[in-house]
Amino acid sequence: MYIIKNGLIIDPQSGFNQVSDMLIDQGKIKQISKEIDIKGIPIIDASNKIVAPGLVDIHVHFREPGQTHKENIHTGALSAAVGGFTTVLMMANTNPTISSPEIVKQVKESAAKEAIKIETVATITKSLNGKDLVNFEELLEAGVAGFSDDGIPLTDTKVLQEAMNLARKHDVVLSLHEEDPSLNGVLGINEHIAQKIYHVCGASGLAEYSMIARDAMIAYQTQAKVHIQHLSSSESVEVVDFAQKLGANLTAEVTPQHFSKTENLLLTKGANAKLNPPLRLEKDRQALIDGLKSGVISIIASDHAPHHIMEKAADNISQAPSGMTGLETSLALGITYLVSTKELSMIDFLAKMTCNPAQLYGFDAGYLREGGPADIVIFDQAEERIIKAEFASKSSNSPFIGDKLKGVIHYTICNGEIVYQKDSHAATLV
Ligand SMILES: [Zn+2]
């Protein structure tokens, strides 16, 4: 039993937003009250800090099985804890892919050993082949939280419609990576800078928003729960807005990198700024922020995508893999580029990293309530730090290394246990 004292407790789900104390007992929040005094029990001093629900990230790549030189479930979990996350959702583009109950079982056994909560999706099509649907029923029974072919966009319209019919039948979420390969050149580099600087055909906005338009209309017709991953272009926000107004059961996410930076980051950070979909123009970045403000985009997700340093160091940027390690910079990027700039209030920002993603997948997470799980992040929103190349993640492919960001996490608590503490080695012990 211990008390978290004097923190500004913010719970986006209930709207609670005041300085209070919190009593933690047996993995649960036992009491939230203006003042709690119990003699002789440990105290975490949260004065001048924010006490928020443990963050929830519904888009991470932990690379296990098959690509554990980049990351594994253990290092992914450590990285999440350092970043303030207590619940994460793994994508299924591992090797082999997460397409069968056997692999789900293997992943869940690994995940159960970790100090944070790790859920997984399964692929929509077998081994991401884009043609043959997986067995939704047996995978749901095995415990997957949803389905996604993230990494390989699903081009076959008929297959997609059938998948949505199944998703509707089982009341489960389909998450979609939207980039039509037939409309793209080199992935990860926006068409504008690709032409101007690299003299190649890059990744077009059209590839993204035309595919979203197609899928949003099938979502509307099937009424399946469909989630559009990592929006990057301004038109995509418009399309999602249109479909939501029409009555589609459609949600959308944006990554911190897409609301923080533009394609120009490639000029200074090279392959570490190469992402699918790519960083685009300032007008796109602004539209993504407007989408967050209006609520069209209800979720912020990291798309944590670790790659080995040698892979990113390919001679030609066109050959380097896309993606960045993101869990350890997400919160600070949001505070720096959304809250400090007064684009979003702290509580509205936190909703997009806690209760909104948890609600989409039905996770018992993302809120602070008496009797609820003691999954908590404690951070100082004004404190600054310079991002160093040392991450708990196995990889350090971040374009934010060297940047000064606002927001420093002091504690991450999951099920009442401290899984990360600033300036201690807790992260290596969990
Ligand atoms: Zn993706």
Same domain, 73 and 124: yes
* Tokens describing residue 399: 């374009």
pLDDT at 427 over 60: no
pLDDT tens, 155-185? 999 999 999 999 999 999 999 999 999 999 9
What's 54's DSSP letter? P
pLDDT at 24 over 90: yes
Cα 151 to averaged position of ligand 1 atoms, centre (Å): 5
Annotated binding residue 93: yes
pLDDT tens, 83-131? 999 999 999 999 999 999 999 999 999 999 999 999 999 999 999 999 9
Cα 429 to averaged position of ligand 1 atoms, centre (Å): 31
Same domain, 160 and 196: yes
pLDDT at 59 over 90: yes
* Tokens describing residue 20: 């209070």
Q: Which positions ≥6 away from 321 have C-beta within 8 Å?
A: 274, 307, 311, 312
Domain that holds residue 198: 53-359
Instruction: Determine which helix (DSSP H) or strand (DSSP E) holds 413, and give its type and residue range.
Output: strand 404-414
pLDDT tens, 213-263? 999 999 999 999 999 999 999 999 999 999 999 999 999 999 999 999 999
Same domain, 31 and 158: no
Residues facing 147 on adjacent strands: 122, 174
pTM here is 0.97
Helices (H), 186-343: 191-193, 205-222, 234-246, 256-260, 265-269, 282-294, 309-312, 330-334
**Confidence bin at 429 (pLDDT 50/70/90):** very low
Instruction: Extract the runs of DSSP E, i.e. beta strands, from 63-151.
Output: 85-90, 117-120, 146-148
Cα 282 to averaged position of ligand 1 atoms, centre (Å): 21
First to last CA, the chain: 19
Helices (H), 153-281: 157-170, 191-193, 205-222, 234-246, 256-260, 265-269
What CA–CA distance (Å, rounded) separates 280 from 83? 25
Do 178 and 215 form a contact (C-beta atoms < 8 A)? yes
Region 23-30: what's the mean pLDDT? 98
In a domain, 428, yes or no: no
Domain boundary at 317, 337, 359, which? 359
What CA–CA distance (Å, rounded) separates 79 from 248? 35
Annotated binding residue 170: no
What is the sign of the dihedral through the CA atoms of 49, 359, 119 and 94? negative
Cα 20 to averaged position of ligand 1 atoms, centre (Å): 39
Annotated binding residue 6: no
Q: What angle in degrees, to the nearest 10, is found between the helix axes of 205-222 and 234-246?
A: 10
Cα 257 to averaged position of ligand 1 atoms, centre (Å): 13
The CATH number that applies at residue 120 is 3.20.20.140
Annotated binding residue 303: yes
Same domain, 144 and 267: yes
Q: Which positions ≥6 away from 322 have C-beta within 8 Å?
A: 187, 188, 274, 275, 276, 278, 305
Annotated binding residue 129: no
In a domain, 340, yes or no: yes
Domain boundary at 336, 359, 382, which? 359
Same domain, 108 and 35: no
Annotated binding residue 25: no
Q: What is the mean pLDDT of the chain?
A: 96
In a domain, 68, yes or no: yes
Residues facing 10 on adjacent strands: 17
* Tokens describing residue 368: 């602070």
Q: Can you count the helices (H) and strands (E) in the chain?
A: 15, 16
Cα 324 to averaged position of ligand 1 atoms, centre (Å): 11
**Confidence bin at 424 (pLDDT 50/70/90):** confident
What CA–CA distance (Å, rounded) separates 126 from 133? 6
Cα 99 to averaged position of ligand 1 atoms, centre (Å): 17
In a domain, 365, yes or no: no
Same domain, 61 and 31: no
pLDDT tens, 391-419? 999 999 999 999 999 999 999 999 999 99
**Confidence bin at 425 (pLDDT 50/70/90):** low
Provide ipTM, 2 decimals: 0.95
In a domain, 121, yes or no: yes
Do 55 and 331 form a contact (C-beta atoms < 8 A)? yes
In a domain, 429, yes or no: no
Same domain, 169 and 105: yes
**Confidence bin at 315 (pLDDT 50/70/90):** confident
**Confidence bin at 426 (pLDDT 50/70/90):** very low
Cα 291 to averaged position of ligand 1 atoms, centre (Å): 19
Same domain, 173 and 214: yes
Cα 360 to averaged position of ligand 1 atoms, centre (Å): 18
What CA–CA distance (Å, rounded) separates 140 from 142? 5
Same domain, 44 and 66: no
* Tokens describing residue 92: 């299924």
Same domain, 244 and 321: yes
Domain boundary at 359, 378, 395, which? 359
**Which listed residue (11, 303, 375, 380) is catalytic?**
303
Annotated binding residue 369: no
What's 324's DSSP letter? B
In a domain, 430, yes or no: no
What is the pLDDT, as a whole number, of residue 369? 98
Cα 243 to averaged position of ligand 1 atoms, centre (Å): 21
Q: What angle in degrees, to the nearest 10, is found between the helix axes of 101-112 and 73-82?
A: 50
Same domain, 340 and 391: no
The CATH number that applies at residue 399 is 2.30.40.10
Same domain, 12 and 113: no
What is the pLDDT, as a whole number, of residue 428? 44
pLDDT tens, 274-297? 999 999 999 999 999 999 999 999
Annotated binding residue 184: no
Count up the domains in the chain and report the number: 2
Cα 303 to averaged position of ligand 1 atoms, centre (Å): 7
Annotated binding residue 308: no
Do 180 and 276 form a contact (C-beta atoms < 8 A)? no
In a domain, 425, yes or no: no
Determine whether 303 is an active site residue. Answer: yes
What CA–CA distance (Å, rounded) separates 111 from 82? 17
